[in-house]
């Protein structure tokens, strides 16, 4: 069976590696990813390089004539790349352009939650102009999160903990300036630029669900670590590491909270399908926060696998993950079940110095990886922003590698530390050794919010406004 996999990162490497020898793997990406290339060679497929956009995908489809497509990243979904497969009647793992709006537009996602009364929704306001947003923010009495209204690749989200602190003249001007900056990240004609939401607090986690248009299958929870540096400081990145498990949970999320989160995703899929009239086919994820306001609360949705969450989740699926992907694409998920390795997984991403703020500094470095040695230690390596050029591995400016290890988190940490010593580069490499090391803190944080939301639930106040505003009625 010929499979055409689209995308060039570690997530796509993890998916490709999960495909058994039953599949002949063809890849389409913007550079040659060495990890994907290995799978392509092993299965005697072919590697195509080009720009990931609908016209070039059409050409690739007619050249390869695949039996199935798999789309990894979000941008191609936003541009309708998966629809190119559907037009040809080829089963594809990947949300349609219209369904991927759940990720592309944070405003659409929030409005859907309110229209269908989906639990875990936050109050929000969308603004066409930066001035209006700044004016609203300055009148607000509580705390807020200010974001680009559309997907901006993790750029620009600003959580304002105390608006009162922003009310002096200079602070107001500074705020107007930062809101202005956020506005520039998302510039789609006719669509709101900025979304302002009530601010919540609590530990974050992600639930990925496979959907074939009829059956939904939840995968084990994962948590990713966004900030560039140790202890959660520094700029936001695509993710510096992740944890999944043990079992289908994380240590700070209960089975009931897992089920409630799955229910939120179920209702979301049903709402999306009602709005677009199109079946949802592929992965969807809720990027969640456990809050005192609601319990499981939606921060945003993904219309695909998270990266680096995929590297934490996929190796934990005991049965053939490729088979699950195929059943999702072909509408046979009712015949599937997910058997999860009970051991937790720990993922570290490794990036060249410069990432995420100075991509140029992080680009064009030679890097070497002794995959064999890393596997001997008991870890796996997936290649991300690294291309194979004349036999050398060259960094492309983003997260270069993802290392994953299964088992007790402390043991995995030791194994990952050893694995790092088998990676060399002509620049400094950055990675966080504290991924998954704050579980106790998160368990405590979860207990506090759990106490609050369960009392609210008893009183029938779940989701009721958290912030009292002297101005009243702003939302
Ligand atoms: N309403 C909110 N309240 C509190 N924190 C938030 C809120 N929205 C976002 N955040 C924080 O900002 C981060 C990024 O926001 P998110 O909506 O996921 O945007 P992005 O597209 O940048 O990932 C979240 O992971 C969370 O930590
Ligand atoms: Mg996010």
Distance 392 CA to ligand 2 centre (A): 33
Residue pair 293/201 in contact by the 8 Å Cβ criterion: no
Distance 20 CA to ligand 1 centre (A): 36
Nearest-angstrom CA–CA distance, 166 and 182: 17
Counting from 1 in the atom list of ligand 1, the atom nearest the Cα of 156 is: 22
Nearest-angstrom CA–CA distance, 250 and 239: 18
Looking at the CA of 300, name the nearest ligand.
1
- Count of H helices and E strands in the chain? 15, 25
**Residue 154: its pLDDT value, please?**
64
Contacts of 257 (CB under 8 A, 6+ apart): 290, 295, 296
Nearest-angstrom CA–CA distance, 421 and 410: 18
Nearest-angstrom CA–CA distance, 381 and 379: 7
Of 113, 122, 147, best ligand 1 pocket probe by most atoms within 8 Å of the beta carbon: 147
Nearest-angstrom CA–CA distance, 423 and 54: 36
Residue pair 253/221 in contact by the 8 Å Cβ criterion: yes
Question: Which CATH code for domain 2-101?
Answer: 3.40.50.20
Looking at the CA of 202, name the nearest ligand.
1
Looking at the CA of 121, name the nearest ligand.
1
Nearest-CA residue for ligand 1 atom 24 is 299
Distance 234 CA to ligand 1 centre (A): 15
Residue-wise pLDDT tens digits, 161-177: 766 665 566 776 777 77
**Residue 135: its pLDDT value, please?**
85
Q: Which residue, 429, 337, 351, 345, is CA-closest to 386?
A: 351
Distance 64 CA to ligand 2 centre (A): 34
Neighbour-count burial of 163, counting CB atoms closer than 10 A to its CB (0-12 exposed, 13-18 middle, 19+ buried): buried
Contacts of 228 (CB under 8 A, 6+ apart): 234, 235, 236, 237, 240, 355, 356, 430
How far does Cα 333 stand from its chain's mean position?
A: 22
Q: Are strands 241-244 and 222-224 parallel, antiparallel or unpaired?
A: antiparallel
3-state SS class at 299: strand
Distance 431 CA to ligand 2 centre (A): 20
In the chain, residues under CATH classification 3.30.1490.20 are 123-198
In the chain, residues under CATH classification 3.40.50.20 are 2-101
Neighbour count for residue 366 (Cβ, 10 Å): 13
Q: Which residues surround ligand 2, an ion (CB under 5 A)?
A: 287, 300
Residue pair 184/202 in contact by the 8 Å Cβ criterion: no
Looking at the CA of 299, name the nearest ligand.
1
Residue-wise pLDDT tens digits, 450-469: 999 999 999 999 998 766 55
**Residue 358: its pLDDT value, please?**
95
Residues of the chain with pLDDT under 50: none
Distance 181 CA to ligand 1 centre (A): 16
Of 289, 303, 465, best ligand 1 pocket probe by most atoms within 8 Å of the beta carbon: 289
Nearest-angstrom CA–CA distance, 235 and 125: 26
Distance 154 CA to ligand 2 centre (A): 6
Q: What CATH superfamily is the domain 123-198?
A: ATP-grasp fold, A domain (3.30.1490.20)
Show the tokens assigned to 338: 């997910």
Nearest-CA residue for ligand 1 atom 21 is 154
**Site residues for ligand 1, CB cut-off 6 Å:** 122, 145, 147, 151, 154, 157, 159, 197, 199-200, 204, 226, 287, 299-300
b vs e for 399-435, b when ≥16 Cβ sit within 10 Å of the residue's Cβ?
bbbbbbbbbebeebbebbebbbebbebebebbbbeeb
């Amino acid at each position: 069976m010929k499979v055409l996999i689209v995308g060039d990162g570690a997530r796509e490497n993890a998916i490709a590696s999960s495909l058994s020898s039953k599949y002949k793997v063809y890849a389409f990406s913007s550079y040659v990813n060495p990890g994907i290339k290995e799978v392509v060679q092993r299965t005697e497929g072919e590697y195509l390089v080009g720009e990931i956009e609908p016209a070039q995908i059409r050409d690739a489809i007619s050249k390869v004539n695949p039996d199935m497509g798999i789309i990894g990243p979000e941008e191609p979904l936003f541009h309708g790349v998966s629809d190119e497969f559907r037009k040809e009647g080829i089963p594809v793992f990947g949300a349609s352009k219209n369904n991927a709006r759940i990720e592309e537009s944070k405003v659409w996602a929030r409005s859907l939650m309110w229209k269908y009364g989906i639990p875990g929704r936050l109050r929000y306001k969308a603004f066409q102009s930066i001035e209006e947003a700044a004016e609203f923010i300055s009148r607000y009495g509580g705390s807020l999160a200010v974001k680009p209204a559309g997907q901006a690749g993790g750029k620009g989200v600003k959580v304002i903990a105390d608006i009162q602190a922003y009310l002096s003249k200079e602070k107001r001007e500074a705020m107007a300036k930062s809101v202005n900056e956020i506005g520039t990240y998302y510039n789609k004609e006719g669509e709101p630029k900025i979304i302002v939401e009530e601010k919540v607090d609590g530990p974050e986690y992600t639930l990925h669900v496979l959907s074939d248009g009829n059956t939904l299958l939840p995968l084990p929870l994962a948590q990713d670590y966004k900030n560039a540096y140790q202890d959660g400081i520094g700029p936001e990145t695509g993710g510096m590491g992740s944890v999944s498990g043990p079992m289908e949970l994380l240590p700070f999320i209960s089975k009931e909270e897992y089920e409630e989160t799955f229910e939120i995703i179920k209702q979301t899929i049903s709402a999306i399908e009602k709005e677009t009239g199109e079946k949802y086919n592929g992965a969807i994820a809720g990027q969640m926060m456990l809050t005192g306001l609601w319990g499981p609360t939606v921060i945003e949705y993904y219309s695909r696998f998270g990266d680096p969450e995929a590297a934490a989740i996929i190796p934990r699926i005991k049965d053939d993950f490729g088979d699950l992907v195929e059943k999702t694409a072909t509408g046979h998920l009712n015949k599937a079940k997910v058997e999860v390795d009970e051991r937790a997984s720990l993922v570290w991403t490794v990036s060249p110095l410069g990432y995420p703020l100075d991509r140029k500094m992080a680009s064009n470095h030679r890097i070497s990886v002794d995959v064999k040695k890393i596997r001997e230690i008991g870890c796996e390596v997936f290649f991300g922003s690294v291309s194979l050029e004349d036999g050398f591995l060259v960094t492309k400016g983003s997260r270069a590698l993802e290392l994953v290890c299964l088992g007790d988190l402390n043991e995995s940490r030791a194994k990952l530390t050893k694995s790092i010593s088998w990676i060399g580069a002509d620049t400094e490499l950055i990675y966080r050794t504290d991924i998954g090391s704050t579980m106790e803190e998160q368990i405590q944080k979860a207990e506090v919010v759990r106490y609050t939301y369960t009392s609210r639930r008893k009183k029938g106040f779940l989701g009721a406004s958290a912030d009292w505003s002297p101005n009243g009625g702003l939302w």
